[in-house]
Structure 1
Amino acid sequence: MTQDTAAAAQFAAPPASQADPFTPPATSALWRRDFLLGAATAAYQIEGAVREDGRLPSIWDTFSATPGKVLAGDTGETACDHYHRWEADLDLLTQLHFEAYRFSIAWPRVMDEAGRPNAKGIAFYRRLLERLKEKGIRTFATLYHWDLPQHLEDRGGWLNRDTAYRFADYADLMSRELKGLVDSWMTLNEPWCSAYLGYGNGHHAPGLANGRYATQAMHHLLLGHGLAVTVLRANDPASAKGIVANVGRGTADSPSEADVRAARRFEVQHNAWILDPLLKGEYPRELFELWPGTEPLVLDGDMETIAAPLDFLGINYYFRTNVKSDGAHGFVEAPPEGVERTQMGWEVHPDGLRDLLTGFARTYDNLPPIYITENGMASDDSVRDGRVDDTQRIAFLKRHLAAVNEAMDAGVDIRGYFVWSLLDNFEWAFGYERRFGVVHVDYGTQVRTPKRSAELIARFLAQRRALDVA
């Protein structure tokens, strides 16, 4: 028996008397073998090794090293040390029976300032992908998960139109070097966060705060996406191409017309700002009524490039936001009392995921197939007697998977679901305090401990595989 097989058996056959609070009902579409269940990570959050093998500084290296920007002064310098421990981390995917893995490529690791390939950085991702293929795990590679090379930010970053073309160059290199190893390419992760948190309010790298900056950065991000889709299709035609959007459910604090309009405008700002240009080829007019004077500079042909056809759309969902009118044209948050929240302070609201998915299907006639590319929660997990009992996460995942199933029953084409995250990791401006993983990481020793949620996911996937074999 191999080490992987032995570890898998550990989770596949628990005592029959042990209650299972995760496994979906027999009628759930989640039992279908063509519905992928995977785990997700991101390069800066797990890799570490920020100065090894030719990797260049990123905006998150700069931002996290700036006093006061990240909780406790944490940085991604070591993170989960995945750059050195990747083989064991991929073994975890096998042990837990995950069928797909979504990860990101660090742009600063694979190219130098002149745009020339960095062979050592590229070789790291090639080894990673080859091992995943050997294991029979589907590969989903994100090109940009927020770690812009610092030398590009020094030239204006996403405020500079040229960055969109440099992103296309990067996509061109990666799709030529890794052709045939990636099942699905994702151009951008959460452009809303990159544009709004990075350039609009300064909570994320590069830490700028200007409304016009946010909309111009978004335009260049989406332009880079459209340019990248073209080169990905040319270089790696057998792979699927998509993008990942974080979406937010906005609900009205009262049935008043003003509050209902406020909730709609919340969703325009969070969802339509990204999805309308991708799927309609235009920005929503209401966005610039909400943010007057922030219209980006759009050149002829830009919107056609941005609206390049997608093979799939990645959706990241975590919580809803209850809002009320600000007395003018916008909204302010109106947090409800007595609701369940995570360690992040986010409300647990699985119905919001279902409502968004069914709403998108009604709004966009050309909505492509969907993957839930991130869903999960942070909790203050600790290891006790060799175990991590993350009861709230187990309930969270089961309820959100049930919401996905409800959306599928309503006719939404959803192909899979990725848990965020495989590992506890560097949670951006919150550092290492907030734990999203289904595997606990001791950051001092780098010891990995699968949590109870991971054990239950593994049990379900083993049961599903056994039914398929039978």
Structure 2
Amino acid sequence: MSSNFIWAVATAAYQIEGGKDTDGRTPSMWDAIREIPGRIKDGSTKDLSCDGRNKYREDVQLIKSLGVTHYRFSIDWSRVMKNGKTRNPLGMEYYKDLCRELKKEGIKCIVTLFHADLPLDLYNEGSWLTEGIIDRFVEFSRYCYEELNEYVSIWITFNEIRMHAWAGVVKVEGEPFHSLDIDYKKFLGNVSVTRAVMVASRNMLLAHAKVYRLFHEKDDSTRVGIIVGAHSCMDAEGEKISAVSERATKSMVNLYLDPLIHPSNDWTEDMKEYLGTDLPPWSEDEKKLLKNTMDVLCLNYYRPHIVKERKGPSLVEELFNFTMVDDDWPKIGGESSWVRLHPRGLISLLEGLTKKEKEDGMKYPNVPILISENGVNDDPSLDSLEDTNRIQYIEAHIDGILEARRSGINVIGYTAWSLMDNLEWDDGFQVRFGLFHVDLKSEEKTRTPKMSVDWYRKKIEKERRDETMNKEVK
């Protein structure tokens, strides 16, 4: 294991900063969602946050106490560009202050440009359904690069691009409702919802490619990645890889990788077969733009899925002719949690991506892989600070990842989600993933370490010590 292995912890901007406008921040999509009665399960409004905007110095000390090498955070577009369009130096100053503080403590930055929250004006103008947003995103990214690049180790354009396309633009059957109820036909005409989703996907991939080219024109050593949700799928017959499990994985993972790193820089033929005319084509110039625009492949992983050959209830299951079925893996976050303890699912996906490098006609390049999120919510049956379930979950995944790395898979780092309890989108603050507990009722939004904090620090120390010893033996 290289001494450059990344040990990280992550949070997202809006989830800890909140919707406060004291530095010229303008409204975002999630501000509007949080004001709709009944949409957020704990009833909290946009005014409730962890106040990360004002507590960043304290939070950097929390990050330092973990012993990590990197901190992954995201930029709130609505904070740094008014209405998504005009530069706001006062809002940008917060991120510069945060980066300076991290640098002072020897912690490198992994920065996500888009993490599910769009400026409200841009959402109302068509969101990712219109091509005009591509240039808006490029200008936002340019501003971030100009102000922050000296501090950034890895830039990530989109967090879980597939998740946002299917859940954060329009309402889609069987997907989380993480958007406002936009009338996509107003922008695209009388087309199917599948077409709307894939137009949004196409525009985000083009925006990613343009930002990649821009950053590399400025400095070719810049590392740019994109996050895909690690939807590892296994056949119900013996938890194996089969035609149906591979097709399900392709629909949620490879569909978003192929235009960037497949030799054709196109949707693959099997995807065209399933999606038909709902899949918008690429021009030859667009294929050239997309080609090899990934320095780091980032994966957020929480659980795999068991699938069978049958059209399921959701749109994606119907389109790709599979259905997700119940599993018996440990419900590590309690009976109501969607997270499962099954690290083999991630290793299976990593092995599948590695295998593609060797298949004729596929030849995926050996792109470095960063596990950009992995974690579990508090188990309600445990004391809020005695998160032994989190320790069990994270340790199992770290051990699996390091074993995969030793076997030759190019995994360059691990990121725990999340630094502190924060807004978990439509669940509000009632579901807590943090290594640090946040007292949201206190004026100071007091942070208190859970058991996992000391454990994670010691785990990192042990793995780095073992690495040094192994080098000396060699």
- TM-score bin (small chain): 0.7 to 0.9
Q: Are residues 1:273 and 2:255 paired?
A: yes
**RMSD value over aligned CA atoms?**
2.5
Change (3 A) 1:70 1:303: farther
Structure 2: 5+ residue runs without aligned partners?
185-192, 312-317, 358-363
Conserved in 1, the CA contact under 8 Å of 2:34 and 2:40?
yes
Q: Are residues 1:353 and 2:346 paired?
A: yes
Change (3 A) 1:64 1:298: farther
One-letter amino acid matched to 1:240: R
- How far apart are residue 444 of structure 1 and its match? 1.0
Match of 1:131 in 2: 101
Match of 1:371 in 2: 370
Q: Are residues 1:183 and 2:165 paired?
A: no
Match of 1:451 in 2: 450
Match of 1:229 among 196, 207, 212: 212
Identity in percent: 30
Counterpart-to-counterpart distance in 1, 2:56 and 2:448: 15
Counterpart-to-counterpart distance in 1, 2:196 and 2:131: 12
Partner-residue secondary structure (3-state), 2:82: coil
Aligned length: 437
Q: Are residues 1:145 and 2:110 paired?
A: no
Partner-residue secondary structure (3-state), 1:225: helix
Counterpart-to-counterpart distance in 2, 1:393 and 1:194: 26
- How far apart are residue 113 of structure 1 and its match? 3.6
Match of 1:398 in 2: 395
- How far apart are residue 285 of structure 1 and its match? 3.0
TM-score normalised over the length of structure 1: 0.87
Residues 137-160 of structure 1, C-alpha deviations (whole Å, 9 max, x = no match): 011111111111111111111000
Greater CA drift, 440-449 or 80-89:
440-449
Counterpart-to-counterpart distance in 2, 1:224 and 1:78: 32
TM-score normalised over the length of structure 2: 0.86
Q: Are residues 1:160 and 2:130 paired?
A: yes
Residues 350-373 of structure 1, C-alpha deviations (whole Å, 9 max, x = no match): 001111111111214313111111
Match of 2:195 in 1: 212
Moved over 6 A (4+): none
Q: Are residues 1:433 and 2:423 paired?
A: no
Residues 71-101 of structure 1, C-alpha deviations (whole Å, 9 max, x = no match): 1333443321100111101110111212110
Match of 1:296 in 2: 280
1:57-206 paired onto structure 2 within 5 Å: 57-113=27-83, 115-198=85-168, 199=170, 201=172, 203-206=177-180
Change (3 A) 1:170 1:401: same
Greater CA drift, 233-242 or 435-444:
233-242
One-letter amino acid matched to 1:432: F
Partner-residue secondary structure (3-state), 1:39: strand
Counterpart-to-counterpart distance in 1, 2:411 and 2:460: 18
One-letter amino acid matched to 1:283: W
Structure 1: 5+ residue runs without aligned partners?
1-28
Match of 1:313 among 272, 297, 313: 297
Change (3 A) 1:337 1:464: closer
Match of 1:12 in 2: none
- How far apart are residue 342 of structure 1 and its match? 2.7
Counterpart-to-counterpart distance in 2, 1:114 and 1:430: 26
Counterpart-to-counterpart distance in 1, 2:67 and 2:380: 22
Partner-residue secondary structure (3-state), 2:372: strand
Change (3 A) 1:395 1:159: same
Match of 1:45 in 2: 15
- How far apart are residue 283 of structure 1 and its match? 1.4
Counterpart-to-counterpart distance in 1, 2:461 and 2:416: 17
Q: Are residues 1:241 and 2:224 paired?
A: yes
- How far apart are residue 382 of structure 1 and its match? 8.9
Greater CA drift, 81-90 or 230-239:
230-239
Change (3 A) 1:367 1:204: farther
Change (3 A) 1:195 1:363: same
Counterpart-to-counterpart distance in 2, 1:236 and 1:294: 37
Counterpart-to-counterpart distance in 1, 2:302 and 2:415: 12
Conserved in 1, the CA contact under 8 Å of 2:329 and 2:342?
no
Match of 1:15 in 2: none
Change (3 A) 1:363 1:312: same
Conserved in 1, the CA contact under 8 Å of 2:333 and 2:379?
no
Counterpart-to-counterpart distance in 1, 2:65 and 2:306: 39
Partner-residue secondary structure (3-state), 1:175: helix
Change (3 A) 1:75 1:406: farther
Counterpart-to-counterpart distance in 1, 2:61 and 2:195: 45
Partner-residue secondary structure (3-state), 1:73: coil
Match of 1:336 in 2: 327
